[in-house]
Structure 1
Amino acid sequence: MVVPIGYVQGDATAPQAAGPKLIAHICNDLGGWGKGFVVAVSKRWAEPERDYRAWHRGRAGNDFGLGAVRVVQVRGDTWVANMIGQHGMRAGSKGPPIRYEAVGACLDALGGHAQRLGASVHMPRIGTGLAGGRWERIEPLIIERLSARDVPVTVYDLA
């Protein structure tokens, strides 16, 4: 059974759910952090940014790159998933920075983390802001990689 995606007005950094929660967002593969949804994440918790920057600094010896995910615990029942699904930070000759294949790989890994933690997933409309992606392409990936695995997903639109 496919669990439908829930859509709500609100702030994805303040998930509206009981139990374990995973907040997911898209990061770039250049180590840049400071615009878009990450600003709200950093205002609430220091750990996700600190972990992302250290992960990027150590990239020669770790898995940092497109399709990779790091899950950082920020409270007893809440984690933030830094997902590398954006190549660079600006649109160029190859189009917008979003990389749908990488987003799919990230969502696969995220599904495993969510199942292991027994967590629901909470996110803004990932990949559609600075990454330049189209929701019509991202939503089916969420359904296929999370909802079809019975992982509850809530998408937040700021009021």
Structure 2
Amino acid sequence: MALTLRHNRDRDLAPLAAMLPDAEIPLLNPNAKVPFDEMEWHRKWLGERDDASFYLRDDAGRDVGFFALRVGVGPEVRHLTYAYVAEEARGGAGAELTDLVEQAARDLGALTLTLKVEVENGPAHNAYLSAGYEELSRRQGMATMWLDLEERRAA
């Protein structure tokens, strides 16, 4: 399945709410209310002026994934937050997701990408390792990882 990227310039969270089962909300954001509350997400989780969010679309044009990029230490660093792929699009989507995240971060002027992933989430952790992310540290079951986009572009 080929995934394409759709920038969520309007900050519309209805597609995310429709694809995200209540049982998976804590996996995407352990601090978010269940059921999904768009106002909470706008206010608390995607409310920074420079937050950028994106939808992943399948071949049929359906939204099957979501991720957000937040400004990190400075504007040249973006932090991947809230990456989600709907169950029907899983199974090999990790490489496509990481490629699209890198593309979106570059389009936003990022030189570096960071993220945190649960170590016990083997498929996600392995997808980031396979994409070239380096693990910086582990703490409380989370791995902090980073990717140098400039180095990747030069390779």
Q: How high is the TM-score relative to the length of structure 2?
A: 0.41
Higher RCO structure, 1 or 2 (CA under 8 Å, sep 6+): 1
- Report the TM-score when normalising by structure 1: 0.40
Q: Which has the higher strand share?
A: 2
